[in-house]
Structures are given as structure tokens and as C-alpha cells.
Amino acid sequence: MTTTAPSTAGRFLDPLAPVLAGAYFARPLAVVRETAGQGGPAPLVRTEHFSLHKDGRRVELRHRLRPEDLDNDLAGLLADELFAPGWLSGAEVFEHAFTGVVKSTVDDPMRAWLRFYDNTLHRIRACLREPPRLPGRSVIAGFAPVYEHALRLTPPGRVLDLGSCFGFFALLLAGRGRNEVVASDVSAGAMQLLEAYATRRDLPVETLVCDAARLPLPDASADTVTLLHLLEHLDPDVGEEVVREATRLARGPVVLAVPFEDEPAEEYGHVRVFDLPALRRLGVRSGRRFSVHEHHGGWLILHPR
């Protein structure tokens, strides 16, 4: 699971399945928490937080993260240290590496994900209170202004969030007490985690596992529909279907955000790039009144008829 919408591979991960203490095993790779004096052959590569080893036909990823390090900046660490240099590749491998690090850092899977959510939300809120002057490569610091802007653009009422992934935005909405929130995603594992966390922290978030282009909901069933960093994961034709579905479901505005990239970030499952003219074309094809603007990426607001 990534910072935004999960890849297709993420549909089939069970984030709460039991694991051996300090270890996670999957077909593409094994992930283990590194311990002092851990033996074996020399690593293929060693970075600040990780090392890669060959274990027969399978690659073994070792890490040196502690429970207090466990948050959504893990996505950036994996991307920068292992995927951007080409040591690992592919969205499926990224999903397993991310899940494996979380579940091997704290021995009980549920406690591991609770720690991940608590740490991430604490750091998001810290960024909202005082934006860092130099966010660097922090995924959390980079995404916090997107959440802040989306919160400002989302009026009170019932909100349907499409492509919620971990559901951080849905949790922020629920926490401010002005919205009924439904989070949806194609990944059953992501929605399982979000529902478990919201229940344990007494936050009113409903979850729905479905394709963002076909939701089992009636017309005009939400006051606002949000799509934050979802369309870059979808081919253009599918993206058009998702926007049509969002306009069907929204009584009020549709709030859509995308990153601006020179090339799609493949490690996060991105398949296309956007600019303001592309968002304007999407607005024209929606058939609604619309506006576009730039703020830490691009925004398209489809206004009520």
C-alpha cells in the first residue's frame, strides 16, 4: 500500500494476516527486521535504512526501522533508497516491501498498523499546524498541504472519498466533526485497516470496497465527492469513467487533485501525468461548470449544476 491509491496488487494483500515475529514472507521477497549479529552473506546493497540479500531464488529485504519510525514516510524511504536506483522494481514488489516492513517492525500485525496510523496522523497534524520550512523528501510533509487544501474546499455534509487507500484524509475529515464520511477503495485490505483503526479510535468513518468507476450507491448520494491523487493511477478512459461516476454521486462539488510530475512515478503505481490544460479538458468533458488551479499539484473543482 502506498501513499495514495494502491496498485492492483494491493487488492489481494491481507495486512492483518499473522506473521512470524520480525519477519514477512511473500513470493517476490522476504522482509525481516535486522538484529544485532545477524549472519549470512554480504548484502547485495546496503543503504541508510535497508539492505538486500539473496536467499536462494528469493530476495531478502532487511531493515533497521523502529516502532517510532513507522509512518507513511516509509513510502519515500523505499522509493529513494531501493526503487529509484533500480535495486527493486514493480508496484507489486513495492506493496509487499511496504507491508512487510510495517508488519515486521512490531510483532503483532494489528498493533503494527495502529502504530503506523497514529504516527502518521500525528505527523500530518504537526505539518498542518506548522508547515516545515524544508520538507525535503518527506511524503507526509509533501502531502500535508494537499490535505489542508482539500479540507478547506470540502464543505460540511456527507463526503464520499474515492480511492481512499489508507484513508488519512477520511480520518482528518471525521476528526473535525463537520462531515459524515464514506471512504471507498478497490483494496479490501486498505479498507479493512481503515475500518479497524477508525473503530479503535472512535472516528465515524464508513468504508466501501468497490471500483471507483462503479459504486453501488444511488444518484446524488453525497454532498461532496473527493478524489485526491487517484486519476494518475488510472488509464485515461478509466479516469473519465471515474469522473462521470463522481458527478453522478455528488449533489454538490467534486474536488479532484492530482500531482504534477515530469514522468509517472512507477513505484507508486502512477501511469499518467497531468498539467492544468489536461485538467481543463477533463472539466469541459464533465459537462459541469468547473474551475482549475494549482496548489502543490493541480486541482479541478466541478461545481453543482
The predicted-structure confidence for 82-124, as pLDDT tens digits, reads as follows 999 999 998 889 999 999 999 999 999 999 999 999 999 999 9
What is the secondary structure of 28-69 as a DSSP string?
A: SEEEEE--TT--SSPPSEE-SSEEEEEETTEEEEEE---GGG
Burial profile 45-65: b = 16 or more Cβ within 10 angstroms, e = fewer = eebebbbbbeeeeebbbbbeb
Residue of 248, 91, 80 lying closest to 162 (CA atoms): 248
pTM (global) more than 0.85 = yes
Topology of the domain covering 140-302: Rossmann fold (3.40.50)
Q: Which range (30-34, 106-110, 128-132, 172-176) has the least confidence?
A: 128-132
Predicted confidence at residue 61, as pLDDT, reads 96
% of residues, the chain, pLDDT over 90: 83
Measured distance CA(279)–CA(199) in Å, rounded: 36
Residue 86 has a pLDDT of: 94
Tens-place pLDDT, residues 241-274:
999 999 999 999 999 999 999 999 887 889 999 9
Residue 215 CA to residue 227 CA, distance in Å, equals 14
Percent of the chain, pLDDT > 70? 94
Is 2:269 a contact under the CB 8 Å cutoff? yes
**DSSP code for 302:** E
In this prediction, residue 42 carries a pLDDT of 85
| Domain locations in the chain as residue ranges | 8-111, 140-302
Q: Are 39 and 60 in contact (CB under 8 A)?
A: no
In what helix (H) or strand (E) does residue 136 lie, and over which residues does it extend?
Answer: none
Average pLDDT, rounded, for the chain = 92
Residue 135: per-residue pLDDT: 61
What is the average per-residue pLDDT within 212-227?
97
